[in-house]
Chains A and B, each alone.
Chain A
């Protein structure tokens, strides 16, 4: 038998639970305790699309090096769900550990030879300690955290602090949790060889970073961005974004008399959601909606209106897999093209691609300035991985001297002073016209908004030349957008190289780790993280400067690659897709293998031959 895996501050723990069993808060406690010991972690929920009864997993990546993507593989499986036992046991890396509830005997055949087994009679202990069925269930979870604290050397004082923080004002609840934790811990110390090969050691690697989910961060960003109208329709994984906005708006935007400086409408569907956003934005409020792929599909017609009528709208799309239920509670980056080219007619839109909750907040606020400045829809593409998981990231930052940039809005004073107002007139040569809010002036500045068929002064016309004139101006505006959206971020390899990689969004954390691993193998790759569409000139330059560029994405059809070829005129052979789309977040091992193996083999096959 292979010796047990040994590692300090660098391993993967996966919890296999039953949905709705109360395991989530115990698993959170486990994760946060490690963070408080100054050790970076990345945690991810993998959950079914129902509320109770189905399997759910929680994966904690402990990384003293600060790698926050999924690594791939599992060193310690906490197998609390008999339903998924087989696959959970199978997933453990050779030499890894299996932690299970040993109350009922498990036949030897159901274990693995190359895995170290740790049994704790959790159910028996709970049944002995508690009479209430709900308590037996809930405290079993805390109890395994207690046992793990002994096995992995989690500082019990940290857990105590966390519990007292969590139950501040409800001390009655803190005590029994504390006791259950201690019970599990004591049992392990008395009956098991502690610690395991996997250990935790206090470090100082977390710094001032925060641990938060991207949806809350984006919702907070919308508050800081000055959004006052939110219209949405519930859909996983975006629901908690609207809820985050509501939570923070309630906290920061409630007048002393209880009245709200914001309005949230849970609309009847996504068509109404985006309609409300467009109406509000037309009338001078900052407005947004939060949705996922199916909602984006429904919003298509209105997005076109927002583009052609030049009305700022902000759409947060927390991407998920395919239609209907099931897979949709898994992550993907599969709405890139749907967002970039949303709607009928010739349209293209600004798309922002945050890499983590820090950027969800920043882009969440910036999106409103960008939308107002450009007077068009702005998509902010999150995905389930960033949106619904807690990520360790840089703290949120704000400059108090910053003011909302409402773009080109002509005021009553300017109209009164005789400034020429043409709603679709390119007065400044940047393709962006001036607008007026309804009710501005009694006799000047009013106009009739329509999708198309108007001249520069918003007068009705069906003349072809006027249509072309308008469409050309919209293209000019798209050029202007390149200078307004976030620029790409370059990470140069240690040595000069003709190989590059382009990536974006939530792949970023795994990418960083893969790049280090590749570098250790002597494979040097320059990396460019794209943060927005339209692409900055730098993107074209980057591709031109390399012989072949991998494009790492979490979708089947290499959507960003398509966009790059289409918008930058790049030959397909130059862009090699690396595609991960099984619904789980991409891993560092996957990227490393996909790029490393191809580079080493000196075969760089083209499209379709995606890695693995």
Chain B
């Protein structure tokens, strides 16, 4: 349903993506792994049109993302940003229900608030955070609010940029389960970036490893441990020695 074909993105002299080819089927949960700074976030941002690649085509349902109605396109997506990206002028519940308070998915305020509180509960937050402001929450709590916002309007396609970073192991487990549930129950298509191998095994149908601006390895999660790609093996076992330099 989502395909990236030969995508290139350069910042100044820093060629981040150098021909990324990737596809995700409908209802599939893809996890992208790869070293810090390899361009994982840039890859998903380019699908959303937040970053414009110099070369290459990205299609969703066979349609080029740069054509057609942006609003209708974006209404199908949910995105959790790496840094949370909560609106600090709005209380938590209005952050979560942002989409439900305006635009094409607008609904009555009470209803939007109820949905927000329900989504907060799903990410392990109590209703009393609803009226607080983002700056009053811890980093991990902000991350979970971001997650609640991403799923609030029940989008078909969801991107999670490091959903469990900064969370304790128990909360990570809750979030992994939640992401799995969203894919299985709601039939959503998910692309998740994570560095946490436990998460990879819990969330992924398939795994793609980004290295040196290209997809180094892409396959089902069941084949990840037996694949003979030295880059992948070094990464998943966290070895200092191997083809990937520690200093990049």
- A associates with B: no
**B-contacting residues of A (Cβ < 8 Å)?**
none
